[in-house]
Amino acid sequence: PPSKLPQVGTSIFSVMSQLAQGHGAINLSQGFPDFSCPAELAELVGTYTRNGFNQYAPMTGVAKLRENISRKTELLYSVAPNPETEITITSGATEALFCAIAAVVRPGDEVLVIEPAYDSYVPAILLNGGQPVFIPLSFPDYKIDWNLVKSRITPKTRLLLLNSPHNPTGATLSTEDLASLSEIIRDTNIFLIGDEVYEHMVYDGQLHQSLLRRAELFSRSFIISSFGKTYHATGWKVGYCVAPPALTQEFRKIHQYLTFSTITPVQYALADYLENTEHYLNLPAFYEQKRNLFSHLMVSSRFEIIPSAGTYFQLAHYKDITDEPDVAFAKRLTQEIGVAAIPVSVFYHNQQDNKVLRFCFAKNEATLRQAAEKLCVL
Ligand code: PMP
Ligand code: GLN
Which residue puts its alpha carbon closest to atom 5 of ligand 1?
A: 167
User: Chain-wide mean pLDDT for the chain?
Assistant: 98
pLDDT of residue 91: 98
pLDDT of residue 181: 98
pLDDT band at 220 (very low <50, low <70, confident <90, very high): very high
Each residue's pLDDT tens digit, 223-253: 999 999 999 999 999 999 999 999 999 999 9
Q: Which fold has domain 52-276?
A: Aspartate Aminotransferase; domain 2 (3.40.640)
Residue 202: DSSP 8-state: B
Cα of 65 from ligand 2 centre, angstroms? 24
Q: For residue 249, give the amino acid letter.
A: Q
Each residue's pLDDT tens digit, 258-311: 999 999 999 999 999 999 999 999 999 999 999 999 999 999 999 999 999 999
Coil, strand or helix at 63: helix
Coil, strand or helix at 233: coil
358 - beta bridge partners? 315, 342
Q: What is the pTM of this model?
A: 0.98
Cβ(11) – ligand 2 distance below 6 Å: yes
Coil, strand or helix at 360: strand
Closest CA to 261 of 44, 97, 88, 63: 88
Which residue ranges make up each domain of the chain? Answer: 12-37+278-375, 52-276
The CATH number of 12-37+278-375 is 3.90.1150.10
Which of 13, 17, 232 has most ligand 2 atoms within 8 Å of CB, for mutation?
13
**Is the distance from CB of 259 to CB of 91 less than 8 angstroms?**
yes
Quote the CA–CA distance of 252 and 161 in Å, as a whole number: 19
Rg (CA), the chain: 20
340 - beta bridge partners? 27
**Dihedral angle, C-alpha 166, 169, 175, 178, nearest 10 °:** -60
Concatenated DSSP letters for 75-133?
HHHS----TTTTEEEESHHHHHHHHHHHHH--TT-EEEEEES--TTHHHHHHHTT-EEE
Three-state DSSP string of 264-332: HHHHHHHHHHCCCHHHHHHHHHHHHHHHHHHHHHHHHCCCEEECCCECCEEEEECCCCCCCCHHHHHHH
pLDDT of residue 176: 98
Each residue's pLDDT tens digit, 87-112: 999 999 999 999 999 999 999 999 99
Own/partner pairs, 219-222, CB within 8 angstroms, 24+ separation: 219/244, 220/185, 220/189, 220/190, 220/191, 220/192, 220/244, 220/247, 221/191, 221/192, 221/193, 221/194, 221/247, 222/96, 222/100, 222/103, 222/191, 222/192, 222/193, 222/194, 222/247, 222/251
Average pLDDT of span 324-332: 98
Host H or E run for residue 49: helix 39-50
Cα of 138 from ligand 2 centre, angstroms? 23
10 Å CB burial of residue 265 (0-12, 13-18, 19+) is: buried
pLDDT of residue 180: 98
pLDDT of residue 57: 98
pLDDT of residue 192: 99
pLDDT of residue 83: 98
Count of CB atoms situated within 10 Å of the CB of 278: 8
pLDDT band at 197 (very low <50, low <70, confident <90, very high): very high
Cα of 152 from ligand 1 centre, angstroms? 26
pLDDT of residue 198: 98
pLDDT of residue 167: 98
Percent of the chain past pLDDT 70, that is, above it, reads: 100
Quote the CA–CA distance of 234 and 245 in Å, as a whole number: 28
pLDDT of residue 233: 98
Quote the CA–CA distance of 53 and 45 in Å, as a whole number: 10
pLDDT band at 332 (very low <50, low <70, confident <90, very high): very high
Q: Quick one: angle between helices 39-50 and 264-273, nearest 10? A: 140
pLDDT band at 119 (very low <50, low <70, confident <90, very high): very high
Each residue's pLDDT tens digit, 149-188: 999 999 999 999 999 999 999 999 999 999 999 999 999 9
pLDDT of residue 280: 98
Which residue puts its alpha carbon closest to atom 1 of ligand 2?
A: 31
Cα of 287 from ligand 2 centre, angstroms? 18
Cβ(49) – ligand 1 distance below 6 Å: no
**Is the distance from CB of 224 to CB of 240 less than 8 angstroms?**
yes
Average pLDDT of span 51-66: 98
Cα of 338 from ligand 2 centre, angstroms? 20
- For strand 157-163 and strand 110-115, is the pairing parallel, antiparallel, or unpaired? parallel
